[in-house]
Structure 1
């Protein structure tokens, strides 16, 4: 019976057996899985490249910021040395905030590490 002559509610019969249909479904599923894995590999490679380039760019920017801060501190030391007339005194004055900050952070870290552990 052709499709044009078939009544509306009648199901379409497939001449293939259930075993053949299952084999076709398994083959299609494995092909789909292979395509999905290839797509995932491509996406991951693209994401890794993007992350690597971002890390490289931010690392370079951080390096430049640190170099600029060091140069700024040298310039500040030289300016203070001109004002007070002593390079040693200027170096101590410029370094003093860093010494104070490191002392505060050391005391804070010591207090955090000396707390009793909750795990027992």
Structure 2
């Protein structure tokens, strides 16, 4: 029959380890039982921490996504306001829209050219 004691417990308060009356098999079984209990506690703790981290990460992604959406909406409204202000100064809506869109067209052209150049370099390597 297996003795129901913990590994850390000794048979007598002042006993030395080599005077422990328990057999090696009993000590190994007690160690395995304690290790299993420790592993179970560790897995419960890890599960609780991961669950908390996932909740925090989900709320962080939601907050940053909402902030990004608001920034993009404000930039679009700013561009509309800039176009309307230029249209009021110039007197022509089409020319004001062209002036506001011109930096974006130039940036798109530069990025397209760089992308095509990079694709042609990769295709010549392989």
Q: Is 2:95 aligned against 1:89?
A: yes
- CA distance, structure 2, for counterparts of residue 108 and residue 70 of structure 1: 26
Say if 2:66 is the partner of 1:74.
no
Alpha carbon RMSD of aligned pairs, Å? 2.1
TM-score, normalising length: structure 1:
0.86
Pick which of 107-116 and 74-83 moved more.
Answer: 107-116
Q: 1:5-24 counterparts in 2 under 5 A?
A: 11=17, 13-24=19-30
Matches within 5 A, 1:1-120: 11=17, 13-116=19-122, 120=126
TM-score with structure 2 setting the length: 0.82
The gaps in structure 1 that reach 5 residues or longer are none
Unaligned runs of at least 5 residues, structure 2 = 1-11
- Specify which structure has the bigger relative contact order, considering alpha-carbon pairs within 8 angstroms and separated by 6 or more residues: 2
Once residues 41 and 118 of structure 1 are traced to their aligned partners in structure 2, the CA distance between those partners, rounded to angstroms, is 50
